[in-house]
Amino acid sequence: MTHPWYKFYPTGVNPKIDISTWTSIASVLEKACEKYADKTALTCLGADLSYRDLNKYADNLAAYLQKKVGIQKGDRVAIMLPNIMQFPITFIALQKIGAVCVNTNPLYTPREMKHQFVDSGAKAIIIIDLFANNLEKILAETGIKNVIITSIGDQLPAWKGFLIKTVMKLKGLIPAHGLTVTPFKEALAEGANLTYDRPKIEQDDIAVLQYTGGTTGLSKGAMLLQKNILANMAQIQNCARAIVNDGEETVLTALPLYHIFALAVNFLSFLAMGQRMVLVPKPVPIENTVKIFKKYKITVMTGVNTLFNSLANNPEFQANPAKSLKIALGGGMAVQEAVQKKWRALTGKSILEGFGLTEASPVTHINPSESLIRTNSIGIPVASTESKVVDEQGNEVAIGETGELLVKGPQVMAGYWQKPEETAKAIKNGWLWTGDMARMDNDGYFYIVDRKKDMILVSGFNVYPNEVEEVLAGHPKVLEAAVVGVKDEENGESVKAFVVAKDASLTIEELRAHCKEQLTGYKRPKHIEFRKELPKTNVGKILRRELRDSTEQKIKT
């Protein structure tokens, strides 16, 4: 089968991938650790870890977990860590013994933690000490029997780790708890005297339970098999090798590794290519990330629109923009044209926008290269991936028309953990229904119009928030904007805009005049509210749902 987008694949990028010789995630990463043994794999808070030592520590932890904790193949183990060296060590260790990684946001509330741990059936957890008190509140209601605890500085030189821990304790950042725990460093030391037994790991085994954001209710665990993640690693590498070189790049990792975007791209795909991953435990305030650009020659980065926007509007970054970048990958939310232009003017490089979702491990589309970028497009499907736009009955719509985006490929999940009915709604005849409204042009480039559930219906007309947000963000005095639909007695719904001003002199009248020039009547915001900041997810995606809920609450009260 051929597709119109094949002709846009750069030289060296294959339309098909082959992972038949890749047996497991662990084996692929182990080969990289052997090949690049003396190179730096991880950098965090000024300390480096070689590929050789990364593999050694992962072996030690794997042995401890298997022989002392009793973790067997298929057991679920929660990882609740920020971007510190302990995350990759733990993830690789679990892959070595065939355990299933349950990635958990460290900022979760006890309620959110309980849901994820109970739903997944996690037997053990590796957690940062900053949030152990939250675990204590719900531990008895879960199946977790073993808790391994770590501190930010555990993998740093002893003096530096001690200093960081002391300062954090003095500031009251490490709360007290009454949990029975094993220190991470102790687990590594004990595991160094043990040897784990490698189980037979097959491509159809579950590697990760990656929970969705839960924006429409309780989050669901996407079952990502070994072959799903391996396929996406191969697809990402297939695209990347047209731009970067194995073993030569420095990858900025400001997005959290417990999120599927950074996990698959920064960690698994690029680390398997021998690249150096610079971990940023706390990228906000944005000055923390700007410092990384000053200290290291960053050649690869991933980000969401809000991260690129914050950097592009930071005076220090503006004075010394990153000129070493070979590639900046944007995903998670639409990269706004105003942000793209500013980023390109500062760095000399465009943001290569792509698309993905948890249920697809996650990458499905990407703009193939700098010269082949199309404005506002998520690009073309990656290798071995099919995509189409359909109506509510599943029939393909005409070129250029809007419908729901469907994808099919080896990276698509097996389904939702213990939720066959939800799986049946999401995957039909092998096609994953993404819930995103999109269109395709004649050349096979795809364009996300908006999330299906975020669409606003004004007097029977569809209004897509992305379009209105793009217009608002184009105003020189606007830093950020978000748009939602609110109840309207006359029109059913009307458009409400939440705006963070870059310039305090900005007025509602100016914004109305700006929108009048660029939007037809029913698309213009009827309500405009200024905010100091907008609510965001852990990766910086703006939470429209929270803004909607806050508006509805005001109406009720």
Where residue 554 falls among pLDDT bands split at 50, 70, 90?
Answer: low
Q: pLDDT tens for residues 28-53?
A: 999 999 999 999 999 999 999 999 99
Q: If you compute the radius of gyration of the chain from its CA atoms, what whole number of angstroms results?
A: 23
Residue with tokens 């694949």: 9
Tell me: pLDDT of 380 over 80. yes
How crowded is the C-beta side of 488, counted as CA atoms within 13 Å? 19
Q: Which DSSP helix (H) or strand (E) runs through 183? A: strand 182-183
For range 240-257, the mean pLDDT: 96
Residue pair 26/201 in contact (Cβ under 8 Å)? The answer is: yes
Percentage of the chain with pLDDT > 90?
Answer: 84
Q: pLDDT tens for residues 137-184?
A: 999 999 999 999 999 999 999 989 889 988 898 888 899 999 999 999
Q: Which two tokens stand for residue 294?
A: 């000053």
- Phi first, then psi, for residue 274 (nearest 5°) are 85, 20
Tell me: pLDDT of 215 over 70. no
Q: Comparing C-alpha atoms, which of 71, 126, 73 is closest to residue 104?
A: 126
Tell me: pLDDT of 556 over 80. no
For range 385-389, the mean pLDDT: 98
| pLDDT score, position 489 | 80
Tell me: pLDDT of 455 over 90. no
Residue with tokens 């070595």: 96
| pLDDT score, position 216 | 41
Q: Which of 25-34, 414-423, 535-544 has the lowest mean pLDDT?
A: 535-544
Average pLDDT, the chain: 94
What domains lie within the chain, and their CATH numbers? 1-23+226-452 (3.40.50.12780), 51-201 (3.40.50.980), 455-556 (3.30.300.30)
For range 488-498, the mean pLDDT: 89
Q: Which DSSP helix (H) or strand (E) runs through 316? A: helix 315-319
| pLDDT score, position 452 | 83
For range 177-194, the mean pLDDT: 98
pTM listed for this prediction: 0.89
Q: Comparing C-alpha atoms, which of 143, 129, 105 is closest to residue 113?
A: 105
Tell me: pLDDT of 118 over 70. yes
| pLDDT score, position 217 | 53
| pLDDT score, position 265 | 97
| pLDDT score, position 7 | 95
| pLDDT score, position 475 | 96
For range 489-513, the mean pLDDT: 94
Where residue 551 falls among pLDDT bands split at 50, 70, 90?
Answer: confident
CB within 8 Å of 399: residues ≥ 6 apart: 440, 441, 442
Q: Which of 89-103, 453-467, 494-508 has the lowest mean pLDDT?
A: 453-467
Percentage of the chain with pLDDT > 70?
Answer: 98
Can you tell me the distance from the alpha carbon of 277 to that of 249, in angstroms, rounded to the nearest whole number? 9
